[in-house]
Structure 1
Amino acid sequence: MLDRYWHGGTSRISPEAPVQVVKVSNIEDRPGGAANVALGLAKLGLSVTLVGVVGHDENAVALERCLESSGVICRFVRSEHLPTITKLRVMSRHQQLIRLDFEERDDCLSQNEAVATMVKECLTNSDAVIYSDYQKGCLADVPSLIKLSNNAKVPSFVDPKGDDFSIYRGATLVKPNFVEFETIVGTCSSESDIQTKGTQLKEQFGWDALLVTRGEDGLVLFENDKAPFSLATSAKEVYDVTGAGDTVIAALTAVYVTSKRFTDAVEYANQAAGFVVGKLGTASITAGQLDAIMYQRSHSTNFGVLAPAELLEQIKLAQMSGEKVVFTNGCFDILHPGHVAYMKQAKALGDRLIVAVNTDASVKRLKGEKRPINDLVHRMAVLEGVGAIDWVTWFDEDTPKELIETLSPDVLVKGGDYSIDTIVGADHVLKQGGEVKVLSFVDGYSTTSIIEKANL
């Protein structure tokens, strides 16, 4: 497909009808559909050949020009009676005003045999093949193409469409979005439903893996002999979802042919999709950009003592990566073994642990003028050295209510003889779908007894 964009300003309403008048100032052509998948692979540094059907028209020439300039080898079957599928979007001030589609449907394309011949020729020098199905007729005989792939021992990745997934039987991996998934398996009312039905679907059609993309709810991978693997979306801001699915299948395949690990491939694909949905229109990500994102995630130094505003950004990144964030708070004037044991218990409830500390003024209001024994900087420095703790921050109020509502942790932990309905911030965390836990301190330790013993 060819994605064509007409860009222009709007400053008046047409006298002919109540519609905006767009003064077109720029025309932009981009590869769309399976062509966008091919472009994504080329941007990631792979050698890629695109097989597909186009018309004998100017749009086919424009599409081929776009692809070949990026290194994609085009093996087009040219139809005498079908036009090149083209989607024209009229844009103004980064907003899409209308989309016009130019296409004719032919459910039994006479070109299927020619497509199969080209695929068979390409498989001899390929590490993987992607079947990007848009139900336009080019993959009307996809079972035969998957059989060709299997005979050549080339893994096949399918971006499916429609209400019959039996046609993809025997593929290596199939990647439906959540709407497509529910079309096949029925409505899923819970995570347990998704996991059960996903596992059954994968086994029913003999796939090595099934990847379900769930938009803002992330991805879930079903793989042979492994528990379902879920990832939260990596998108910080969704600007345009055009081509996001193409990016997932491209990045997934690119990484898999190197690592042979589906989990590695899914993690990279998730980050790539998060990048492109923050861009306008059909976008791609380069190998350098993707490597930089993955390096930043695995080598982040944004831990330790952070101001609340800085911490909020890190929490969002952690949660978007599927990590569960645990929060606890206290004065921690003199750190003792009971505190350390408590931190370890708290950390075991999630992936990242935040400890919020009362400022000196807050401690004085709560404990009296002789406290704290150690000032805020010293208390936070000691806490930073505890291995179970990822982040240390502070609050000046008598309670951390405002801080908890700002940070929205996944798990709120308190130690001592509390009931959940008396824990500050519990109502907010529960309302957000989180958990509240009460842990016991280790007997025999308390800051007050240490102070009294030292006669401080």
Structure 2
Amino acid sequence: MNVSMPRFDQGRVLVIGDLMLDRYWHGDTSRISPEAPVPVVKVGSQEDRPGGAANVALNVRALGAPASLIGLVGADDAGRALEKQLSSAGIYCDFAVTEDEPTVTKLRVLSRHQQLIRLDFEEAFHRDHSQAIAQRMSNLINHTDVVIISDYAKGTLSSVEQLINTARNAGKVVLVDPKGTDFQRYAGATLLTPNLSEFEAVVGHCSCERELVKRGQALIEKLQLEALLVTRSEQGMTLIRPGLEEIHYPARAREVYDVTGAGDTVISTLAAALASGETMATSVALANIAAGIVVAKLGTAAISAPELRRKVMAEQGAEQGVVAEDQLMIALEEARTEGESIVFTNGCFDILHAGHVGYLEEARSKGDRLVLAVNSDDSVRRLKGDGRPINPVERRMAVLAGLAAVDWVIPFDEDTPERIIRAVKPDVLVKGGDYTVETVVGAEFVQSYGGRVELMPFLDACSTTLIVDKIKADAEQG
């Protein structure tokens, strides 16, 4: 599946669910306690991270999407620390504060990147806070595109049915990360994202793919869902929709360090992509790639848009070489995020010679990245006449992509590269010295936003036409 990076900033996501503070103590271990057969950890550093629904919101915001968060916290230091950290990340927090119930806190003790023990400081919220949560949702529902229900069974979502109905009646997409075996309470949502064990706890053990899909379709019909996404660890993910063939997404991670928060990453990326206008299938593909990144990290961690973009580029083969136009746009966005300048040039490059190599090396020196647009065979034929090109465009691009000076090679079929120049919007437009700035295609456009136009000299007595003429002459004499 061809996947590109969405404009995450174009969609708004509201997260409602159980909030937690994940606390980490890091230290060295060099001895066993004389009191019991356990390692002694000399704590050297402490770290607090948002967990549960808070981690979901943090993931949404890290991708660049506007995020709002509703949940319950205690009137304590953990609740205040959680809100301060989330607000500083640009998340709009509308928390209901309970005076006699603590903020859910989980303490993990780690040494040498290994988790030794987890200590939970929590009591499920027993009092009815449903109206406080519902009122906050009503205040924000018209300012969002996608709603995430993040259920960790801590008591925040005691009226989840009401929340789903409110969102669906407002025409919003509702994604649910479910908990427990009573999935009926999520009826009417757009999509559920259970992991395989959660799914099988509800529908029974699935001995094969066909059975999984069949039982998934039955669950969709029963709960009146639009889709079901079953996350399956090392087996990837399966997207099931009524009336459509299922889609299996393979696992992306090569090495798994920690699955903590992976489900949060999946649903947050899925929501941000849907909110920005992507299709369900493409949004799940992006979520699958994001999950592969996060499980290679330690603890709950939000992945950034540049991280995801780099991974998407690698998946699409757009890091360097011959690329399609949509792949090039992803690569350019990543390069510009890193502060790199873009140089653009174009040509037929029918028979590569020393003049071409010197020209491209000189062009590359004008910036950080070089985009080379190559005329298609039909385009060359219209410009050069019958008998040209000597080499088809696939071979020409393959050779050019092998040059150290060239980052990306892209074909174009028009007589001029003006359309691609407008799409690329290069910082520097380069053309050979046989042109003047006034005659360079795209020069006026590049100069209109402050870009430069550079003319590069050609190596004397080097041209494809001269080489072709010499070969013909030698053949006639022979």
TM-score, normalising length from structure 1? 0.65
Q: Pairwise mapping of residues 331-346 of structure 1 onto structure 2 (< 5 A)?
A: none
Unaligned runs of 5+ in 1: 305-383, 386-456
The whole-number CA distance in structure 2 between the counterparts of 1:273 and 1:301 is 20
For 2:80, give the aligned amino acid.
Answer: V
Determine the structure 1 residue equivalent to 2:122: 103
Determine the structure 2 residue equivalent to 1:221: 239
Deviation of residue 151 (structure 1)? 1.4
The whole-number CA distance in structure 1 between the counterparts of 2:317 and 2:109 is 42
2:199 corresponds to 1:181: yes
The whole-number CA distance in structure 2 between the counterparts of 1:161 and 1:142 is 12
Among 270, 277, 280, the residue aligned to 2:295:
277
Among 42, 55, 65, the residue aligned to 2:74:
55
Deviation of residue 300 (structure 1)? 4.6
CA contact (8 A) 2:229 2:240 kept: yes
CA contact (8 A) 2:125 2:156 kept: no
Determine the structure 2 residue equivalent to 1:117: 135
Determine the structure 2 residue equivalent to 1:268: 286
Determine the structure 2 residue equivalent to 1:32: 51
Partner of 1:40, secondary structure, is helix
Q: Deviations over 1:309-339 (max 9, x none)?
A: xxxxxxxxxxxxxxxxxxxxxxxxxxxxxxx
Among 143, 146, 151, the residue aligned to 2:161:
143
Determine the structure 1 residue equivalent to 2:451: none
For 2:260, give the aligned amino acid.
Answer: T
For 1:192, give the aligned amino acid.
Answer: R
CA contact (8 A) 2:313 2:319 kept: no
Among 176, 183, 186, the residue aligned to 1:158:
176
Deviation of residue 12 (structure 1)? 1.8
Q: Pairwise mapping of residues 201-220 of structure 1 onto structure 2 (< 5 A)?
A: 201-220=219-238
Q: Pairwise mapping of residues 435-454 of structure 1 onto structure 2 (< 5 A)?
A: none
2:180 corresponds to 1:193: no
Determine the structure 1 residue equivalent to 2:40: 21
**Aligned length in residues:** 305
Determine the structure 2 residue equivalent to 1:169: 187
The whole-number CA distance in structure 2 between the counterparts of 1:235 and 1:284 is 16
CA contact (8 A) 2:109 2:118 kept: yes
The whole-number CA distance in structure 2 between the counterparts of 1:301 and 1:269 is 20
Partner of 2:143, secondary structure, is coil
Q: Pairwise mapping of residues 267-416 of structure 1 onto structure 2 (< 5 A)?
A: 267-300=285-318
The whole-number CA distance in structure 2 between the counterparts of 1:260 and 1:121 is 26
For 2:213, give the aligned amino acid.
Answer: Q
Q: 1:98 to 1:127 in 2, by over 3 A?
A: same
Partner of 1:50, secondary structure, is strand
Q: Deviations over 1:315-364 (max 9, x none)?
A: xxxxxxxxxxxxxxxxxxxxxxxxxxxxxxxxxxxxxxxxxxxxxxxxxx
The whole-number CA distance in structure 2 between the counterparts of 1:251 and 1:48 is 12
Deviation of residue 204 (structure 1)? 1.2
The whole-number CA distance in structure 2 between the counterparts of 1:260 and 1:278 is 26
Q: Work out the percentage of aligned pairs sharing the same amino acid.
A: 50
Q: Pairwise mapping of residues 245-260 of structure 1 onto structure 2 (< 5 A)?
A: 245-260=263-278
Determine the structure 2 residue equivalent to 1:364: none
Q: 1:225 to 1:46 in 2, by over 3 A?
A: same
Deviation of residue 224 (structure 1)? 3.2
Determine the structure 2 residue equivalent to 1:70: 89
For 1:194, give the aligned amino acid.
Answer: L
Q: Deviations over 1:272-326 (max 9, x none)?
A: 000000011111111121122112222358999xxxxxxxxxxxxxxxxxxxxxx
Q: Deviations over 1:2-37 (max 9, x none)?
A: 000000111122222222111111000000000000
CA contact (8 A) 2:128 2:158 kept: no
The structure 1 segments of at least 4 consecutive aligned residues displaced by more than 4 Å after TM superposition are 300-304
Q: Deviations over 1:97-135 (max 9, x none)?
A: 10000001244x321110110011110100111000011
The whole-number CA distance in structure 1 between the counterparts of 2:44 and 2:316 is 43
For 1:59, give the aligned amino acid.
Answer: A
Deviation of residue 200 (structure 1)? 1.1
The whole-number CA distance in structure 1 between the counterparts of 2:251 and 2:139 is 37
Determine the structure 2 residue equivalent to 1:86: 105
Partner of 1:176, secondary structure, is coil
Unaligned runs of 5+ in 2: 1-19, 323-393, 396-478
CA contact (8 A) 2:71 2:94 kept: yes
Partner of 2:188, secondary structure, is coil
Q: Deviations over 1:356-391 (max 9, x none)?
A: xxxxxxxxxxxxxxxxxxxxxxxxxxxx98xxxxxx
Q: Deviations over 1:76-98 (max 9, x none)?
A: 11111110000000011111010
Determine the structure 2 residue equivalent to 1:4: 23
2:255 corresponds to 1:237: yes
By relative contact order (CA 8 Å, sep 6+), the higher-ranking structure is: 2
Partner of 1:89, secondary structure, is strand
Partner of 1:5, secondary structure, is strand
Determine the structure 2 residue equivalent to 1:128: 146
Determine the structure 2 residue equivalent to 1:328: none
Determine the structure 2 residue equivalent to 1:46: 65
The whole-number CA distance in structure 2 between the counterparts of 1:201 and 1:193 is 12
Deviation of residue 147 (structure 1)? 0.5
How big is the alpha-carbon RMSD for the aligned residues of Structure 1 and Structure 2? 1.7
The whole-number CA distance in structure 2 between the counterparts of 1:297 and 1:103 is 41
Determine the structure 2 residue equivalent to 1:399: none
Partner of 2:101, secondary structure, is coil
For 2:259, give the aligned amino acid.
Answer: V
The whole-number CA distance in structure 2 between the counterparts of 1:119 and 1:190 is 40
The whole-number CA distance in structure 1 between the counterparts of 2:204 and 2:128 is 34
Determine the structure 1 residue equivalent to 2:437: none
